[in-house]
Amino acid sequence: MLIVDGHLDLAFNALHNRRDLTQNVQTLREREDIYRDGVGPQNAHPDAMGKEASVGDVGVATVALPELRAAQVGVVMSTIMARVQMPTGFLSDGTRTQAAAHAIGQSHLHYYKALERAGELRFIRTCSDLETAVTAWHSPALDEGLRQATPIGLVLSMESADPILGPDDVSAWYAAGLRSVSLTHFGSNTWGHGTGTKGGLYACAYPLLDALRASGIALDVSHAADLAFWQLLDYWDGPVHASHCMCRALVPGQRHLSDDMIKAVTERGGVIGMVLAEPMLNPDINFDDLSNAPAHSTRPMAAIGDHIDHICQLTGSIDHVALGSDLDGGFGREWAPVDYDTVADLQKLPGLLERRGFSSDDVAAIMHGNLLTFLRRILP
């Protein structure tokens, strides 16, 4: 079954974690294993790059392009991801200045361009591009050999708008392919308050929103602090979605959407992407305080079914649920579901959801249909 993933951080995974995503996951693991568990570089894998052992905190790799193709993930929304961030012991990938965030964002863009030039990805900028990608991945003749030679369709998104220097920079990003933006991420940034903070948007955010709307870029409300979330929806009249969020009624913490937030997004035709990460699935973890989070996951992939059920009960429809896995987005196999090893295992989800009682049509909507409908709305 075709899978459309509404949130991956492929460029971040490649550049920040120094992974060659054209290689398979096993190769990535072999290159990095020597730096885990206190083992020094003296017996390093021949292809390993020297790095500090602490870099192992990014987790065990699970995502690479060959496994995405094996899972029939034919279309992805993948991010430009860099943020201005105050020093913190929790995260180590922020920058001190917006100029630096812009530079990192440009590096992510050019990474995707290089993959497109190599035939690994194909940018999706228009509805026509989307239909070409979907047709290619729906082909009945697409056996494993052809899948590994078929480019994955990329809808460019941005997680934290710090790489956008101002409203007059938006048109250039749109021309480069950017089609969805979330203003905030972890902490407070150039534009306002995000996950882990209390507060709203800064005044400078509103001209940026105007420019995003004028260009036709969709708004992603993931990682907005509560006040910022409601300010965004009060001001914004364009397409909106939550690329990777879960239900606060089931798992506590500001990172997740309250019932009122879910209704607000879905009433505007938005979709909500289900995340495959332990802090998003375990009801005993409060995302506002991850100090007590387990070192390893406890929940299976099918646990997203609880959140899908909840959204369906609230909205009366399956039409607003999608996949936004966030796999290898700052965590690895240790926080991925217990029955997941690599991203190829996403192809297990259709069967797991059908065993939960979802119809085959419902499963197709979750795995690709709903997000394709949303993309057809936002793409020119």
- pLDDT at residue 57 in the model: 59
User: Using an 8 Å Cβ cutoff, are 150 and 132 in contact?
Assistant: no
Residue 331: which H helix or E strand, with range? none
- pLDDT at residue 345 in the model: 98
* pLDDT one-digit tens code per residue, 88-117: 666 778 899 999 999 999 999 999 999 999
- pLDDT at residue 53 in the model: 37
Q: Residue 242: name the closest of 251, 234, 258, 252 by CA.
A: 258
Between 186 and 294, the more confident residue is 186
User: Using an 8 Å Cβ cutoff, are 8 and 325 in contact?
Assistant: yes
Q: What is the pLDDT of the chain when averaged over all its residues? A: 92
Q: Which two tokens stand for residue 240?
A: 């909106």
pLDDT score of 40 more than 60 = no
Residue 338: which H helix or E strand, with range? none
Q: What percent of the chain has pLDDT over 90?
A: 83
User: Using an 8 Å Cβ cutoff, are 178 and 377 in contact?
Assistant: no
**pLDDT class of 42 with cuts at 50, 70, 90:** very low
Burial of 205 (0-12, 13-18, 19+ CB in 10 A): buried
* pLDDT one-digit tens code per residue, 136-179: 998 877 787 888 899 999 999 999 999 999 999 999 999 999 99
CA distance 37 to 104: 30
Q: How many domains does the chain have?
A: 1
Query: What global pTM score does this model have?
Result: 0.94
Return the minimum-mean-pLDDT range out of 87-96, 201-210, 218-227, 292-301: 87-96
**pLDDT class of 237 with cuts at 50, 70, 90:** very high
Which alpha helices (H) appear in the chain, and where do they start and end?
Answer: 10-15, 25-33, 65-70, 98-117, 127-138, 144-147, 170-176, 205-215, 226-235, 259-267, 278-281, 304-315, 349-355, 360-364, 370-378
| Residue 201 structural domain | 3-378
User: Using an 8 Å Cβ cutoff, are 15 and 111 in contact?
Assistant: yes
pLDDT score of 35 more than 90 = no
Q: What is the DSSP string of 292-329?
A: G--SS----GGGHHHHHHHHHHHHS-STTEEE---TTS
Work out the average pLDDT over 303-310.
97
pLDDT score of 29 more than 70 = yes
Task: CATH number of the domain at 24, please.
Answer: 3.20.20.140
